[in-house]
Structure 1
Amino acid sequence: MTDQISSFPSADDAVTLPITSRQIFRARQNLGVNLGGVFVREKWIFHLTFPGNTLFELEAVAKSVNDVGVDQTRRAMEKYWKDYISNDDWKWMQGQGVTGVRIPLGYWNIGGGKFVSGTKFESFSEIYRNSWNILKSHYIEPAAGHNIAICVDIHALPGGANGDASSGEKNGGSADFWSNQQYQDLMVQAMRFVAQDLLSYDNISSILLANEAVSMGSIDPETNYYVRAIKAIREIDTSIPIVISDAWSANQYVKWVQQQQGENNCAGLIIDEHCYRCFSQSDLAKSADQITNDLQSDLLSGLDNNGRGVDIMIGEWTCVLDGQTWARTGLDPNDYGSSRRAAYVAKFAQTQMGLFLQRAPASIYFWTYKFESGNGGEWDFKQQLNKSFTFPSVSVPTAGYFDVLFNQHYQAHVDYWHKANPNENYEHYRYEDGFKAAWNDYETFAKAGSRVGRTQAIKSARYRQHLKSRGVLRFLWEWDHGYNQALSEVTKYI
């Protein structure tokens, strides 16, 4: 790694005493869905917004402007952005237990086209002049009224963080963003704007710097940009969680974050992992049972130091398996109504959800919310929720339950260590402090209707607060033991 990334900005504690509503939005486990195909259009989701044979955003807007002109194109796009979601959608999501949505945006949307100079979208900035305000008026603000948090996903970067159609600029091209200094400089400015302009909204849960970055061989091209963007955001907002793509290699970024922030510190970062098992050749060669069984070993497993200190989220996942997988399972790939297929899908989805909750609890977002056709099958959140998977319920533990568990575990801790070394002057109050810190936070979040998501950031905050009040002495490990024990017990309950 280069020296350029050795200086890492810290973040405010994820939680204080008392915990604020803004902190709950930013630290809870936000469960929900991507609003795919809106601001970054994708033809397979809403094909009628693509004139002729166009395949991605840039092609579509260029042809539309050529065919009907700037004003008519802009009006049509504004109607599409506004009509995509209604108050009934927000009400439905809230009623289904959705606590967060991830909204993919193009760099051309930021500030209504303020950051397109020198890019392929420069000629079309007028089309997007109201898109940023529509994002706020029709998405962020209504979501807040339904207790739903927003992950602001800067999905498409100039030149592309990847070469796919979802970059907005190309399909099957190269990821030019990582080698273009001009584009990176532009996006550092854009990220500063995003942080400043959205600072007043409590329900912004995170800002995502890049979607599905491709591996450049070394992680330096990505991390050098990430550090610059992080610093720009931190100049404005010292507490907003910042999300980075794992470039399909989570452990590289786990190690990087661990090294940069140091032991028991927190830079306020979240790593974005995507879980798809319907694209790679290795997955196409497996049956549905094989794919499901392999999740235990191939999903976020073997992380350095078990991922200590690093929060991870699932930015995209789905219930979809490829037709070749269904054929290897002994099913007709076109028999979408098969009860056997539904059973396999449910097993696959529920296995994923169980592992996500253990290994990537920060947030979990399904791909995707809705389709022009009204039924996206196993890609369709509204079709699959409460059919193939459910969100975990939240219960508030009782005071009596806490008393029993705490007394049991505290006494077992004391007895063990006094037996191990009866002459040692332990600091068992640290165990008690750790246990109560974890329990009280989970109870607070549960009373607010959610689970703790950013477990690593919250633990880091409580650890530093404990040091400030109790001091640094030999037996800090007792605090850690108490905290982890409570975490284990309360997670089982909630």
Structure 2
Amino acid sequence: MHRLSKLFGHHSDTRPPPPGPQGVAAFPAEADCFRYRKQRGVNLGSWFVLERWIADSPFQSAASPAQSDLDVARGGNAKEILEHHWDTWITDEDWAWLTAQGINTVRIPVGFYHVCGADPSVLPGTDFADFQHVFEGAWARITGALVSAHKHGLGVLLDLHAAPGKQNADSHSGTSSPHPAFFAKQANMKHTIHVLSALLSHLTAFANSYTPPLPNLVGIELLNEPQPGAQSAALEKWYLDVFHALRAIDPSVPLYIGDSWMTDQYADFLSRSATQFAVLDHHLYRCFTSGDTSTSASEHARRLADPNEWAPKMFARVSQKLESAGCALVVGEWSGALNPGSLHGEQNEADARQAYVSAQLQMFERYCSGWFFWTYKKESAGDKGWSFRDAVAAGVFPGNMALTVQAAVVDDPGHMARRDAAKDKALDEHATYWNQWPGNYDHWRFAEGFIQGWDDAWGFLSTSASHPGAFVQELGFRGPWAKRRAQAHAREKGDGNLWEFEHGFSQGTAAARADFVTTHC
């Protein structure tokens, strides 16, 4: 069993915990450790959903225009070409290397047709109806990825990158057609719910077939970069329909939705609609527009670091709104890529690139529950902007993205005394502030929340610090975690003045992290 299973010491054996309310496993379970920790990840781009600019060799026998998965399927020797690619693009060496860099989660883009090996009914009526024999072998590789990732302590976010009818005009949505029909035909939207239901059903069945069950599926992303245009209301309704369908299958699996670059709108949507663990995914690139081209790399970095600029203000606003609603924000795609125009006039290109990447990371670390670099690698080496492996090799990607400990945290009995002192100080400040106004308060709830928040945050931090230089896993999805803790508190002690527990919990998690960094990092 992976070391994370020992978090908090709540379970001493390897049996799955008993079901809790609404069929959700007891909290926290091992799966919670993977799902709620801060995700520092990469996309395994062009493993299953192919993109020619990343991996060219699978397209050598593809049908014209040779840009998409469907083009490869329509070409010669497609089954053999794809299965060779699936078996060689990501190997055990890749999993081990990622772990050594401090990566703890991967986002894996898949197409609906990759699910046909588990459920052939995902194909009829689609552009891929005649290609079951080509893609049916993908399922064994997808489930194998879950096993291999777990062996290395990595979580897996499965992302539906290509839906029936295409949700955007790009070739990475499965076909080379420039006319997406996902929103134009209700049948496509309905069929995609069937696809996602099949994906989750078969994934959970596979994970549960292990003893103990595999705990490292951190979520399902419902749709990559949907472009609804005037159909935004239809997308919101579709998201709600998918929530209902997938929660009926497994209510514990986090569900991620794309924001269509309308981040405030979909943050509002989740805030009023999400009843369980839901995450908003925002993608951020600064190399495509004329404005990006005319902005220098150093100016891009400055704007990302300045809290008064648009991007940091948006991230601060949205993350706070989502966390308060028990949801979370991640950046599912970003890169170090810059338009050549942004590097004109920079005295040192390497330094400018590193400063740009560092500014993005610092913003994501401050405001987000997780981030995923696009992409892990390219077939042609040397791209320091888009290839994580090349960015690391060139020193463009900084090595300080995750906390590390100076020595193994075997025991720290003094942290309890520090916790209680911090709690007393915070409680005194809390009570002094609110007692200025007459009212009926339950300040004891603040104290209980502080203790619970400290203990939970400390549990994540200390359990993963097993040796000098270890990458520390920390509580990242504070909104969903706090929501579950508050619900448990309310069930046990009533929900009067529950806000005091929530305030205490938030301060306790922050105080524990600050104390751990000071003491052990």
Q: Could you tell me which residue of structure 2 aligns to residue 392 of structure 1? A: 402
1:58 aligned partner, one-letter code: L
Cα distance between partner residues in 1 of 2:513 and 2:174: 40
- Alignment partner of 1:461 is 2:484: yes
**1:303-333 C-alpha deviation (Å, 9 max, x unpaired):** 3964332311111111111012222xx14xx
Q: Could you tell me which residue of structure 2 aligns to residue 3 of structure 1? A: none
Q: Could you tell me which residue of structure 2 aligns to residue 161 of structure 1? A: 167
1:194 aligns to what SS in structure 2? helix
- Alignment partner of 1:187 is 2:196: no
Q: CA deviation at 1:247?
A: 0.3
Q: Could you tell me which residue of structure 2 aligns to residue 356 of structure 1? A: 364
Q: How does 1:414-425 map to 2 (within 5 A)?
A: 414-418=431-435, 420=436
Cα distance between partner residues in 2 of 1:431 and 1:14: 29
Q: CA deviation at 1:114?
A: 4.0
- Alignment partner of 1:40 is 2:52: no
RMSD value, Cα = 2.4
Q: 1:481 to 1:16 in 2, by over 3 A?
A: farther
Q: Give the fraction of aligned pairs with identical amino acids, expressed as a percent.
A: 26
Q: Is the 8 A contact 1:242 1:269 kept in 2?
A: yes
**1:115-169 C-alpha deviation (Å, 9 max, x unpaired):** 12111111222101111111112x1111111111110011111221110121121
User: Which gives a bigger RCO, structure 1 or 2 (Cα 8 Å, sep 6+)?
Assistant: 1
Q: 1:374 to 1:259 in 2, by over 3 A?
A: same
- Alignment partner of 1:253 is 2:266: yes
Q: Could you tell me which residue of structure 2 aligns to residue 377 of structure 1? A: 384
2:380 aligns to what SS in structure 1? coil
Cα distance between partner residues in 1 of 2:455 and 2:22: 16
Q: How does 1:448-487 map to 2 (within 5 A)?
A: 448-449=463-464, 450-473=473-496, 475-487=497-509
2:359 aligned partner, one-letter code: T
Q: How does 1:106-255 map to 2 (within 5 A)?
A: 106-112=111-117, 114-137=121-144, 139-170=145-176, 173-199=178-204, 200=208, 201-255=214-268
Q: Could you tell me which residue of structure 2 aligns to residue 403 of structure 1? A: 420
Q: Could you tell me which residue of structure 1 aligns to residue 443 of structure 2? A: 428
1:176 aligns to what SS in structure 2? coil
Q: 1:394 to 1:479 in 2, by over 3 A?
A: farther
Q: Where does the alignment leave 5 or more consecutive residues of structure 1 unmatched?
A: 1-10, 65-71, 332-338
TM-score normalized with structure 2 length = 0.82
2:182 aligns to what SS in structure 1? helix
- Alignment partner of 1:347 is 2:364: no
Q: Could you tell me which residue of structure 2 aligns to residue 55 of structure 1? A: 67
Q: Is the 8 A contact 1:29 1:451 kept in 2?
A: yes
Q: 1:114 to 1:216 in 2, by over 3 A?
A: same
**1:354-402 C-alpha deviation (Å, 9 max, x unpaired):** 11122221x2111111111233322111222464223221567833432
Q: CA deviation at 1:227?
A: 1.7
Q: Could you tell me which residue of structure 2 aligns to residue 67 of structure 1? A: none
Q: Is the 8 A contact 1:102 1:151 kept in 2?
A: yes
2:348 aligns to what SS in structure 1? helix
Q: Could you tell me which residue of structure 2 aligns to residue 75 of structure 1? A: 80
Q: 1:441 aligns with which of 456, 476, 483?
A: 456
Cα distance between partner residues in 2 of 1:225 and 1:94: 36
1:164 aligned partner, one-letter code: D
**1:58-79 C-alpha deviation (Å, 9 max, x unpaired):** 1222122xxxxxxx42122111
Q: Could you tell me which residue of structure 1 aligns to residue 300 of structure 2? A: 291
2:279 aligns to what SS in structure 1? strand
Q: Could you tell me which residue of structure 1 aligns to residue 468 of structure 2? A: none
1:392 aligned partner, one-letter code: A
Q: 1:12 to 1:312 in 2, by over 3 A?
A: farther
Q: Could you tell me which residue of structure 2 aligns to residue 105 of structure 1? A: 110
2:257 aligns to what SS in structure 1? strand
Q: Is the 8 A contact 1:251 1:304 kept in 2?
A: no
Cα distance between partner residues in 1 of 2:28 and 2:372: 24
Q: Is the 8 A contact 1:149 1:204 kept in 2?
A: yes
Q: 1:205 to 1:305 in 2, by over 3 A?
A: closer
Q: Could you tell me which residue of structure 1 aligns to residue 14 of structure 2? A: none
Q: Could you tell me which residue of structure 2 aligns to residue 324 of structure 1? A: 341
Cα distance between partner residues in 1 of 2:217 and 2:141: 15
1:59 aligned partner, one-letter code: D
2:425 aligned partner, one-letter code: Q
Q: 1:293 to 1:313 in 2, by over 3 A?
A: same
Cα distance between partner residues in 2 of 1:448 and 1:162: 42
1:32 aligned partner, one-letter code: G
Cα distance between partner residues in 2 of 1:232 and 1:325: 45
Q: Could you tell me which residue of structure 1 aligns to residue 373 of structure 2? A: 366
Deviating more after overlay: 41-50 vs 435-444: 435-444
Q: 1:479 to 1:147 in 2, by over 3 A?
A: same
Q: Is the 8 A contact 2:319 2:329 kept in 1?
A: no
1:359 aligned partner, one-letter code: Y
Q: CA deviation at 1:285?
A: 2.3
**1:65-124 C-alpha deviation (Å, 9 max, x unpaired):** xxxxxxx42122111101111111111112222110000001110132541211111122
Q: Is the 8 A contact 1:244 1:270 kept in 2?
A: yes
